[in-house]
């Protein structure tokens, strides 16, 4: 049975309207695409992002904070959005499966992802969360708060927070048991809840784990065959947003690592997607990693479109 992990971006759920109704409508469309992808022979795990949602939740927490109603820390906000988006996905997938007469159960599992307190990510915040802002607004906020804002892929400025790399997933064995029993599983939402081990106990820490790196770690731990990373474009580009931009199709590890060294991919945006794909294929030459858009998902799976990272020395650029 083919074991597939799909990483879905939080930006794909929240476009311009942050209401629950609007986000659930997009999630329903996403669920229908995933239902079209599912076959009887496939075991499917879905990892979703939460960047816009956790950023908006933090804003709400700060704006309503009082002695009686204190703001929740970042790790708890990650858990809250993991729960809400997980619920939306389970509900939407259940409805899509029933409509298509697919006999599969769906479950979402709260996921604790262990990171090192010594990770360099804590010293260099890089993970964008929250809404896109103008440069002027970002500069104003940086002057009045201790927050850090950075430009994100030509779309505006966003707050950035520490993003340590995952090295263990507490619930990985439970997730494996679910998928082995045919349950389509939503896990690692928002990259998972970041935890560190202190005096033999796990405790939450203020950070956001990149969901693509968390998806790769989970794919490794459950011995997945394929990692599909969904983003806003059908292909990874070099010289992105420039007149000479080029789309990568099938690309070798050595070629894409060369592009990484050139600084072709934005930190906190496309870079972790590329790094996750490379890491997954490096672990097993038989593994397949695909980076593409949700709209292109079916063509990527059935026709080999999108950016496919492989071990062999082959690269095609369109």
Q: What is the pLDDT of residue 129?
A: 81
- Strand blocks (E) in 11-164: 42-48, 106-108, 112-114, 127-133, 148-151, 157-161
How far is the CA of 201 from the CAs of 30, 176, 195, 197, in angstroms? Answer: 37, 23, 10, 5
Average pLDDT, the chain: 91
Examine the pLDDT at 222 and tell me if it is beyond 90.
yes
Model confidence over 118-130: pLDDT tens digits? Answer: 999 998 888 888 7
Residue 101 falls in the annotated catalytic set:
no
Residue 130 falls in the annotated catalytic set:
no
Model confidence over 77-120: pLDDT tens digits? Answer: 999 999 999 999 999 999 999 999 999 999 999 999 999 999 99
Token pair in block for residue 222 = 């459950």
Beta bridge partners of 42: 2
Model confidence over 279-301: pLDDT tens digits? Answer: 999 998 889 999 999 889 988 88
In contact, 159 and 148? CB cutoff 8 Å: yes
Q: What is the pLDDT of residue 243?
A: 92
Q: What is the pLDDT of residue 317?
A: 45
Q: Give residues with Cβ within 8 angstroms of 290, minimum separation 6.
A: 226, 227, 228, 229, 277, 300, 301, 306, 307, 308, 309
CA atoms within 13 A on the CB side of 277: 32
Which residue among the candidates 159, 165, 217, 273 is catalytic per the annotation? 273
Rounded to whole angstroms, the Cα distance separating 26 from 122 reads 33
Which whole number is the average pLDDT over 217-244?
94
- In this prediction, residue 318 has a pLDDT band, given cuts at 50, 70 and 90, of very low
pLDDT > 70 in the chain, percent? 97
Could you tell me the sign of the dihedral formed by the alpha carbons of 309, 289, 294, 155, in that order?
negative
Which whole number is the average pLDDT over 190-200?
94
* DSSP-assigned letters across all residues of 170-212: TTHHHHHHHHHTT-EEE-SGGG-EEEEEETTEEEE-S----HH
Q: What is the pLDDT of residue 313?
A: 54
Model confidence over 135-155: pLDDT tens digits? Answer: 999 999 899 887 889 988 788
Exposure string over 17-32, b if 16+ CB within 10 A, otherwise e? eeeeeebbebbbebbb
3-class DSSP assignment, residue 224: coil
Which whole number is the average pLDDT over 238-242?
91
Of the candidates 226, 114, 225, the one whose C-alpha atom is nearest the C-alpha of residue 170 is 114
Residue 296 falls in the annotated catalytic set:
no
Model confidence over 248-264: pLDDT tens digits? Answer: 999 999 999 999 999 99
In contact, 31 and 73? CB cutoff 8 Å: no
Q: What is the pTM of this model?
A: 0.88
Q: Give residues with Cβ within 8 angstroms of 266, minimum separation 6.
A: 152, 153, 240
Of the candidates 39, 51, 22, 5, the one whose C-alpha atom is nearest the C-alpha of residue 230 is 5
Which residue among the candidates 10, 51, 188, 189 is catalytic per the annotation? 10
Q: What is the pLDDT of residue 236?
A: 95
Residue 170 falls in the annotated catalytic set:
no
Examine the pLDDT at 71 and tell me if it is beyond 90.
no
Model confidence over 2-30: pLDDT tens digits? Answer: 999 999 988 778 877 889 999 999 999 99
In contact, 4 and 44? CB cutoff 8 Å: yes
Which residue among the candidates 50, 86, 127, 306 is catalytic per the annotation? 127
Residue 159 falls in the annotated catalytic set:
no
Q: What is the pLDDT of residue 1?
A: 65
- In this prediction, residue 269 has a pLDDT band, given cuts at 50, 70 and 90, of confident
Which residue among the candidates 211, 217, 235, 287 is catalytic per the annotation? 211
Which whole number is the average pLDDT over 220-234?
94
In contact, 3 and 225? CB cutoff 8 Å: yes
Q: What is the pLDDT of residue 314?
A: 47
How many angstroms from the chain centroid is the CA of residue 306? 17
Q: Sketch out the chain's domains with CATH numbers.
A: 2-114+166-310 (3.40.1160.10), 126-161 (no CATH)
3-state percent helix, strand, coil for the chain, nearest multiple of 5: 40, 25, 35
How far is the CA of 60 from the CAs of 85, 107, 221, in angstroms? Answer: 17, 28, 35
Which residue among the candidates 11, 50, 235, 287 is catalytic per the annotation? 11
Which whole number is the average pLDDT over 50-75?
88
């Amino acid at each position: 049975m083919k074991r597939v992990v799909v990483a879905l971006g939080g930006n794909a759920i929240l476009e311009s309207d942050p209401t629950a109704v609007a986000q659930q409508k997009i999630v329903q469309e996403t669920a229908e695409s995933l239902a079209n992808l599912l076959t009887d022979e496939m075991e499917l795990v879905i990892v979703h992002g939460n960047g816009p949602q956790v950023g908006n939740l933090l804003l709400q927490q700060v704006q309503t904070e009082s002695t009686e109603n204190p703001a929740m820390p970042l790790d708890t906000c990650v858990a809250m959005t993991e729960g809400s988006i997980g619920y939306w996905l389970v509900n939407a997938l259940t409805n899509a499966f029933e409509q298509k007469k697919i006999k599969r159960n769906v479950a979402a599992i709260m996921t604790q992802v262990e990171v090192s307190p010594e990770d360099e990510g804590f010293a260099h915040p890089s993970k964008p969360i929250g809404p896109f802002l103008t440069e002027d607004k970002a500069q104003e906020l940086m002057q009045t708060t201790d927050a850090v804002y950075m430009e994100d892929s030509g779309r505006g400025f966003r707050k950035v927070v520490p993003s340590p790399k995952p090295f263990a997933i507490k619930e990985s064995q439970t997730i494996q048991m679910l998928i082995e029993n045919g349950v389509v599983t939503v896990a690692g939402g928002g990259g998972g809840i970041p935890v560190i081990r202190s005096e033999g106990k796990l405790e939450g820490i203020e950070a956001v784990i990149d969901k693509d790196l968390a998806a790769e770690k989970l794919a490794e731990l459950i011995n997945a065959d394929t990692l599909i990373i969904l983003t806003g474009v059908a292909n990874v580009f070099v010289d992105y947003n420039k007149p000479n931009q080029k789309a990568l199709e099938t690309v070798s590890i050595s070629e894409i690592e060369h592009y990484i060294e050139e600084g072709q991919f934005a930190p906190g945006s496309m870079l972790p997607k590329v790094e996750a794909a490379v890491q997954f294929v490096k672990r097993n030459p038989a593994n397949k990693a695909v980076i593409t858009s949700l709209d292109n998902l079916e063509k990527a799976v059935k026709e080999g479109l999108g950016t496919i990272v492989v071990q062999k020395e082959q690269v095609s650029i369109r």
